[in-house]
Amino acid sequence: GNSVTQMEGPVTLSEEAFLTINCTYTATGYPSLFWYVQYPGEGLQLLLKATKADDKGSNKGFEATYRKETTSFHLEKGSVQVSDSAVYFCALSDFTGGGNKLTFGTGTQLKVEL
Protein backbone atom coordinates (compact mmCIF):
# COMPACT_ATOMS: atom_id res chain seq x y z
CA GLY A 1 0.00 0.00 0.00
CA ASN A 2 0.88 3.65 -0.06
CA SER A 3 2.92 5.20 2.70
CA VAL A 4 4.64 8.47 3.57
CA THR A 5 7.64 8.81 5.85
CA GLN A 6 8.77 12.16 7.15
CA MET A 7 11.43 13.18 9.60
CA GLU A 8 10.49 13.21 13.23
CA GLY A 9 10.30 16.42 15.15
CA PRO A 10 10.31 18.66 16.83
CA VAL A 11 12.67 20.69 14.70
CA THR A 12 13.85 23.82 16.49
CA LEU A 13 15.48 26.62 14.50
CA SER A 14 16.50 30.19 15.02
CA GLU A 15 14.76 32.85 12.98
CA GLU A 16 16.28 33.27 9.47
CA ALA A 17 17.76 29.75 9.52
CA PHE A 18 17.42 27.37 6.57
CA LEU A 19 14.74 24.71 6.85
CA THR A 20 14.60 21.23 5.39
CA ILE A 21 11.95 18.68 6.33
CA ASN A 22 12.52 15.35 4.63
CA CYS A 23 9.68 13.34 3.09
CA THR A 24 9.86 10.07 1.19
CA TYR A 25 7.00 8.02 -0.14
CA THR A 26 6.00 4.59 -1.40
CA ALA A 27 3.22 4.39 -3.94
CA THR A 28 1.99 2.53 -6.96
CA GLY A 29 1.45 4.60 -10.04
CA TYR A 30 2.09 8.33 -10.14
CA PRO A 31 0.58 10.08 -7.15
CA SER A 32 0.33 13.80 -6.58
CA LEU A 33 2.30 15.05 -3.59
CA PHE A 34 1.34 17.70 -1.05
CA TRP A 35 2.59 19.60 1.95
CA TYR A 36 -0.03 20.72 4.44
CA VAL A 37 0.51 23.00 7.44
CA GLN A 38 -1.39 22.94 10.72
CA TYR A 39 -1.25 25.87 13.14
CA PRO A 40 -2.11 25.20 16.82
CA GLY A 41 -5.74 24.30 17.37
CA GLU A 42 -6.65 24.53 13.70
CA GLY A 43 -7.32 22.27 10.74
CA LEU A 44 -4.87 21.66 7.92
CA GLN A 45 -4.16 24.11 5.12
CA LEU A 46 -2.59 23.25 1.81
CA LEU A 47 0.89 24.77 1.61
CA LEU A 48 2.02 23.51 -1.79
CA LYS A 49 1.65 20.63 -4.19
CA ALA A 50 3.22 18.91 -7.21
CA THR A 51 1.37 16.65 -9.58
CA LYS A 52 4.13 15.04 -11.63
CA ALA A 53 7.82 14.20 -11.56
CA ASP A 54 10.23 17.17 -11.52
CA ASP A 55 7.43 19.63 -10.71
CA LYS A 56 8.31 22.18 -8.06
CA GLY A 57 5.59 23.40 -5.75
CA SER A 58 6.12 26.73 -4.01
CA ASN A 59 4.22 29.06 -1.72
CA LYS A 60 5.09 31.65 0.96
CA GLY A 61 8.82 31.04 0.47
CA PHE A 62 8.48 27.26 0.88
CA GLU A 63 9.49 24.92 -1.95
CA ALA A 64 9.44 21.19 -2.66
CA THR A 65 10.42 19.26 -5.77
CA TYR A 66 8.82 15.97 -6.82
CA ARG A 67 11.76 13.57 -7.23
CA LYS A 68 10.55 10.31 -8.73
CA GLU A 69 14.01 8.74 -8.84
CA THR A 70 14.45 9.12 -5.08
CA THR A 71 10.71 9.01 -4.24
CA SER A 72 11.11 12.19 -2.24
CA PHE A 73 9.37 15.53 -1.75
CA HIS A 74 11.49 17.44 0.75
CA LEU A 75 10.21 20.78 2.06
CA GLU A 76 12.64 23.71 2.13
CA LYS A 77 12.63 27.36 3.09
CA GLY A 78 15.60 29.66 2.92
CA SER A 79 14.80 31.84 5.94
CA VAL A 80 12.22 30.81 8.50
CA GLN A 81 10.20 33.17 10.67
CA VAL A 82 8.61 32.74 14.09
CA SER A 83 5.23 32.72 12.34
CA ASP A 84 6.26 29.51 10.49
CA SER A 85 6.03 27.57 13.76
CA ALA A 86 3.49 24.83 13.05
CA VAL A 87 3.18 21.14 12.23
CA TYR A 88 3.94 20.19 8.64
CA PHE A 89 2.45 17.12 6.97
CA CYS A 90 3.61 15.47 3.78
CA ALA A 91 0.90 13.59 1.89
CA LEU A 92 0.24 11.73 -1.34
CA SER A 93 -3.00 11.25 -3.20
CA ASP A 94 -4.52 7.93 -4.05
CA PHE A 95 -7.11 7.96 -6.80
CA THR A 96 -7.60 4.20 -6.91
CA GLY A 97 -11.23 3.19 -6.60
CA GLY A 98 -12.40 6.70 -7.30
CA GLY A 99 -12.41 9.66 -4.98
CA ASN A 100 -9.29 11.14 -3.51
CA LYS A 101 -7.86 9.64 -0.37
CA LEU A 102 -4.76 11.27 1.00
CA THR A 103 -2.17 9.26 2.86
CA PHE A 104 -0.38 11.42 5.40
CA GLY A 105 2.96 11.26 7.10
CA THR A 106 3.06 11.56 10.88
CA GLY A 107 3.81 15.27 10.80
CA THR A 108 6.88 17.28 11.79
CA GLN A 109 6.59 20.02 14.36
CA LEU A 110 8.65 23.12 13.62
CA LYS A 111 9.52 25.62 16.33
CA VAL A 112 11.20 28.85 15.30
CA GLU A 113 12.78 30.97 18.03
CA LEU A 114 14.02 34.53 18.05
Binding site residues, another protein, CB under 8 A: 32, 34, 36, 41-46, 49, 51, 89, 93, 95, 97-102, 104-107
The residues that bridge with 43 in the sheet, in sequence order, are none
Cα 75 from Cα 36, distance rounded (Å): 11
* Cβ distance to another protein smaller for residue 17 or 102: 102
**Rounded least distance, CB 105 to another protein, Å:** 6
**Rounded least distance, CB 77 to another protein, Å:** 21
**Rounded least distance, CB 7 to another protein, Å:** 13
* Cβ distance to another protein smaller for residue 19 or 35: 35
DSSP string, 58-102: EETTEEEE-BTTTTB--EEESS--GGG-EEEEEEEEE-TTSS-EE
* Cβ distance to another protein smaller for residue 17 or 111: 111
Query: How would you classify the pairing of strands 44-50 and 56-59?
Result: unpaired
